[in-house]
Structure 1
Amino acid sequence: MIKIELERVEGDFGFEAKDANGHTVRLDTSPEGGGTNFGVRPMQMLLMGLGGCSGIDIVNILKKQRQTIDGFNMKIEGEREAGKEPSIWKNVTIVFELTGNIDPDKARRACELSMDKYCSVAETLRRAGGELKWEVRVNQLAIDNKQ
């Protein structure tokens, strides 16, 4: 079982979350909501989790295929439901940018496997009704992702 501890440490809405290994993350709400920009918003954290989950998958897959990854970057944009409470992620777009000696087909397939099979955060967002779109760029060239 995973255990997380959360403590308010800054103003009304500044929290620090800690896992069992002592890793910490700071969370807050927007200044419009009474926060002070002490940390990331919880819904932003979900997109960060998507990036970390998928990134780990993709690097693992490509390393097993003996691909040389010199650089890995992801850009994630999300749009939430308008006028609803709670407001969940409706549309999420991810751009995977990889550099190195990487076969473009292997990169596309690694991203596809992560997004469609292995990444638990992606599946969580899909089950909540979110639409996930993604594209792959290898050495600055867009790869057909066959979605």
Structure 2
Amino acid sequence: MAKVRITSTGTDFAHSVSSASGHQLTSDEPPALGGGNAGMAPFELYLAALASCTAITLRMYAQKKGWELGRFHAELESSRDADGNFQVHRTLHADGPLDDAQWARLLDVVERTPVTLVMKQGAAITSSRG
């Protein structure tokens, strides 16, 4: 499974995030929330995880089926409904020659990507002192 580490070295909100696989990024908050906008905000990272899994899963599926997905991108947006419930809407775009049946199948597959399932089902989160 995945493992990341976040390091805070100052009093601002910018943090260095590194993965066990050797990748790094910076997270921060926008100025309106007291940050310096040095990196993606936490909810942007949340959406980025879902978008990445969406793109990878659909590309893998299309290749397995021999479908030409072409240039693909997904737009994800989060919001809260009137009751305060968090919602994510995902819009998919591909310029490959996909017919309606193929699109229907891709929209079905995207509902079951690994990250989609964890986000929909929730995850047990525990904390401890190091």
User: Which residue number corresponds to residue 94 of structure 2?
Assistant: 98
What is the identity, as a one-letter code, of the residue corresponding to 1:16? S
Matching residue of 2:116:
122
Q: RMSD value over aligned CA atoms?
A: 2.3
What secondary structure, in the 3-state scheme, does the structure 2 residue paired with 1:32 have? helix
Q: In structure 2, how many angstroms separate the alpha carbons of the residues matched to 1:83 and 1:34?
A: 27
Stretches of structure 2 lacking an aligned partner (at least 5 in a row): 123-130
CA distance in 2 between partners of 1:16 and 1:77 (Å): 24
Cα distance change of structure 1 residues 33 and 81 upon mapping to structure 2, 3 Å threshold:
farther
Unaligned 5+ segments in structure 1 are 129-147
Matching of residues 1-147 of structure 1 within 5 Å: 1-8=1-8, 12-80=12-80, 90-115=86-111, 117=112, 119-128=113-122
Instruction: Provide the TM-score with structure 1 as the length reference.
Output: 0.71
Query: Percent same amino acid among aligned pairs?
Result: 23
Secondary structure of 2:92 counterpart: strand
Count of residue correspondences: 122
